[in-house]
Chains A and B, each alone.
Chain A
């Protein structure tokens, strides 16, 4: 089955630093990947759609300069939280679906828990 790997699973950083999270589709090609953010006890909020070889599409209210997304290959998308602050602490989770797969069912990575001190 489709497998999505996300790394790191957790990261702690100091305020003002940048953190990069990687999302890889291990056994399929993904022209589109999705980045979600989840606060404790809340739902998943779509942040952006990552498109291979082109600019990401950000949802309303998401700062594109704050959350840099790069989708340089058909198997890798990265999310960089720039100049992180404590309010950026959250659970970030990526997802993708195989091209031609079942009704575009999303396969999720295991998520990355970011804590900004």
Chain B
């Protein structure tokens, strides 16, 4: 069964507008972490934002914010004031397992390709 679901294969957004990339997850572990990574055409994976399962407030990092709705098991990424350089593949990811003992792993969703139009 899919643990991380990204239902939008591709999204278009006008430059300077905001865009929301959807992500839902499934886990029975009470302690987990949610991440968003950006992958430009060069292939590198760039960390954008993190949300812990016990965090009370939604995470924000500059133009990125994570809309965390725990009961709905969703962790949508909001990019404000889109820029042309935001065009890339975006992956939602979830960390499961025990962080302190190192017995954890991070799994990724299928990704959403974002196109920013000038």
Contacts and interface: CB of A to CB of B under 8 A. Distances in A.
Interface of A: 31-32, 34, 36, 42-46, 49, 51, 91, 93, 95, 102-108, 110-111, 113
A105 B102 contact: no
A42 B43 CA distance: 12
A44 B108 contact: yes
Chain B at the A interface: SS class? strand
Interface string B36-49: 01000011110100
B105 A105 contact: no
A16 B104 CA distance: 34
Contacts of A34: 105-106
Contacts of A95: 45, 106
A93 B106 contact: no
Interface residues of B, number: 22
Given A34-B106, A108-B37, 6 more contacts: A32-B102, A44-B108, A46-B107, A49-B105, A91-B43, A113-B43
Contacts of B109: 43
B24 to A, nearest CB: 15
B111 A107 contact: no
Contacts of A104: 33, 95, 99, 104, 106
B49 to A, nearest CB: 10
B91 interface: yes
B35 interface: yes
Among B43, B45, B104, B106, the one with the most A-chain Cβ atoms within 10 Å of its Cβ is B45
Contact of B50 (A46, A105, A110): A105
B50 A103 contact: yes
A45 B3 CA distance: 13
B91 A44 contact: yes
A50 B74 CA distance: 30
A19 to B, nearest CB: 18
B88 interface: no
B40 to A, nearest CB: 11
Contacts of A43: 91, 108-111
Contacts of A93: 43, 45
Nearest to A30: B102
A102 B50 contact: yes
